[in-house]
A = this chain, B = another copy of it.
Amino acid sequence: MTDQPVPTTAAGEATTARGEQTRQLILETAMRLFRERGYARTTMRAIAQEAGVAVGNAYYYFGSKERLIQEFYNRTQREHLAAARPVLDRESDFAARLAGVLHAAIDVLTPSHDFAASFFKVAAEPSSPLSPFSPESAGPRQASIDLFAEVLTGSTAKVDPELRPHLPELLWLAYMGTVLYWVYDRSPGQARTRTLINGAVPLIDRLVTLSRLRVLRPVTRQIIDLVRALRH
């Protein structure tokens, strides 16, 4: 949800309706070309040409191809929030909320499936600014983690107090695993990803409930320590 600031000129063009239109046109064109030709083979020059704007204009709005992808992330994130809202407003059961949010993500991502598969080759590199783990992706990543925090706080789930502050990030990691599975899912309509969500959610729900058992406390601590060790 954190919109990065749009550069403004002295004339403030970017804030005008026409500026926003041009910006959207460049973004839509870029997404179409990424889908049709793949991310690596699409240049800023080609995007500008197809959109019918000067190359300088395209750079004015987005600075680089990477910025276009960041914008795609931001937009996907906003759409995800909007798609998840009804289930978050309606349900108080943790499992129902988690399933709703994960299915909403796949609903939003579905039209980009072909693009995602080709694009993933770039984004999976941890050193890439396009990786969901990169400093450059901090905005949409945090917004996404916040969404999983809301899954938890709006629910009636009772959680081990040591686990609670870490659970949103762990759920987000599970979500990233789901997206990875979806990227390579070749079943019709990515039906297997839905099977994965429907099977993993009751499992996570049960583990979260069991986290309050004394015997499982050390497991919780080990998981938290491992994630922390891998983050540095």
- Most chain B beta carbons < 10 A, residue from A185, A203, A213: A203
For residue A133, which residue of chain B has the nearest CB?
Answer: B184
Query: Are A229 and B124 in touch, CB under 8 angstroms?
Result: no
Contact residues in B for A225 (Cβ distance below 8 Å): 199
Contact residues in B for A121 (Cβ distance below 8 Å): 121
What is the interface size of chain A, counting residues whose CB is below 8 A from a CB of the partner? 29
For residue A227, which residue of chain B has the nearest CB?
Answer: B199
Contact residues in B for A230 (Cβ distance below 8 Å): 192, 195-196, 199
Pick the residue among B125, B206, B222 that contacts A222 (CB under 8 A).
B206
Give complex CA distance A91, B195 in Å: 39
A 191-202 binary contact with B (CB < 8 Å = 1; else 0): 010011001101
Query: Is A11 engaged at the interface, CB distance under 8 Å to the other chain?
Result: no
Contact residues in B for A218 (Cβ distance below 8 Å): 206
Query: Is A186 engaged at the interface, CB distance under 8 Å to the other chain?
Result: yes
Residues from 158 to 204 in A contacting B, C-beta threshold 8 Å: 184-186, 192, 195-196, 199-200, 202-203
Contact residues in B for A186 (Cβ distance below 8 Å): 125-127
A-B contacts besides A125-B184, A210-B215, 19 pairs, CB < 8 Å: A121-B121, A124-B184, A125-B186, A126-B184, A126-B185, A127-B186, A192-B230, A195-B230, A196-B226, A196-B230, A199-B225, A199-B229, A199-B230, A200-B226, A203-B222, A203-B226, A206-B222, A210-B216, A210-B219
